[in-house]
Amino acid sequence: MTKTRWARVLVVEDSPTTARILANGIARDPRLAVAGIAQTASDAVLLAEQLAPDVVTVDLLLPDQTGLDVILRILRLRYVPIVVVTALPQNSSSLAFRALLAGAADIVLKPAGTAAQLDAFFHDLNERLALLASAAAVPTHTHPPPRMLRRRLPEARAGLACLAVGASTGGPPALVDLLSGLGAGFPAPVLVVQHIAAPFVEGLVRWLNQETPLPVSLARHGQRLEPGRVYVAPAASDMTVGAGGILVVTPAQLRRAHIAPSADALFESVAAVYGPSGAAVLLSGMGKDGAVGLLKVRKRGGKTFAQDRKTSTVFGMPDAAGRIGAVDAFAEPRSIGLHLRKLAAGSERVAR
C-alpha cells in the first residue's frame, strides 16, 4: 500500500498568535504538514531555501519587508505556489493584487475569531493549499510569447456581440493578460465572473483599470451593456444578461456547489441571449464552475476558449470544460485575447 505524501507548507506570519492558529488549522488536514514558520521576510526566504516547501502562505505586512518582497525573493529561488493570507483593509488591496501579478497563486482574507468562521476558513484554505501543492503549477507572472491556438477556428460570421469570462484561483493575472490581448476599443462588452473574497472585489476592479487597456467597472442591475467596457460581477451575486443586453444582478442562489458569483449562470445567459454571436472564456481555477455553461455557449454556435494547462495555476475549471467537449481551443490568455480581437475585427468587416 502506497503511503500518501503530505504537502509541506511554510507559514509566513509575523504575529506569533496568528502563526500558531494557522499552523494548527493547516496541520489538522491529513493532506498537509507544516514544515516551518517564519515571522520575518529574511527567515521566510531562508526557510524556503532550506525546507523546499510544496506551498507557502504569506502575510503581506511583515516587520522587515512587505510580503510582496518575500514573494519575489522566494520565486527567484524556484517556483512554489504561494497563497497570500492577509487582513489588509479594502483601501489597501492594491498591494494584494500586486502580489498576484508578482506570482502569488491566490489570496484569502484572514477570518474573524469565531469557531464557525475559523472552520469555514480552514476548510477553504486547506483545500486551496492541497490543490495548489499537487497541481503542475507554473509562474503566472511570466508572459510567454503568443502561440497558435490548438486548431484554427472559423471566421465569426454572426458577429461578436458579447464576451463572457469565468475565473477562479490564478484568475486575476490571467485576466490581465486576456484583457491586454483584447486591447483598447474592443468592439463588444466583456462580462467577468472572478471567484475572490468579497472584500477584494472592488479592489480587483480598480486594479484591472490600472493594468489593462479597457475601462472596468462593477456591474449594476439594469445597466445596458456598452461595447469596449468590462463589467465585473459583484460579490455574493449572480450576474446574467437579459433580453436587449441588460445586466441582471441578483443575490446568488448558491445553486451550483455554493459558488458565487456563478460562471455557469453567466455563460448560460450569454448562450440564450446571443447564440452564435456570443463568446466565452474559462480561465484558471479550482472546481468545475463554468464548464456546463461553456458547453451551452458552444452548442448555440458561440466561440469557446479555455486557458491551457501550461499557464493555468489550477487547471480544474478548464479541464472540466474540456472533458465534456465544451472548448473550441485551449491557449494562454493573451493569445486568446488576440484571437478574439481578430474575430471581432472580422465580424465588423462581415457586418459592413
Distance separating the N- and C-terminal Cα atoms of the chain: 66
* Phi, psi (deg, nearest 5) at residue 109: -95, 135
Active site residues per annotation: 168, 195, 289
C-alpha angle with apex 254: 93 to 304, nearest 5 degrees? 80
The single residue listed with the C-alpha cell 448555440 is 300
- CA 10, 3, 133, 130 torsion: positive or negative? negative
Cell of 274: 446571443
- Amino acid identity, position 71: I
Kindly give the residue spans of alpha helices, DSSP state H, lying in the chain. Answer: 16-27, 41-51, 67-77, 94-102, 115-134, 171-182, 201-211, 263-274, 291-299, 316-323, 333-351
C-alpha angle with apex 350: 345 to 351, nearest 5 degrees? 95
274 three-state secondary structure: helix
- Amino acid identity, position 295: L
- CA 97, 261, 134, 280 torsion: positive or negative? negative
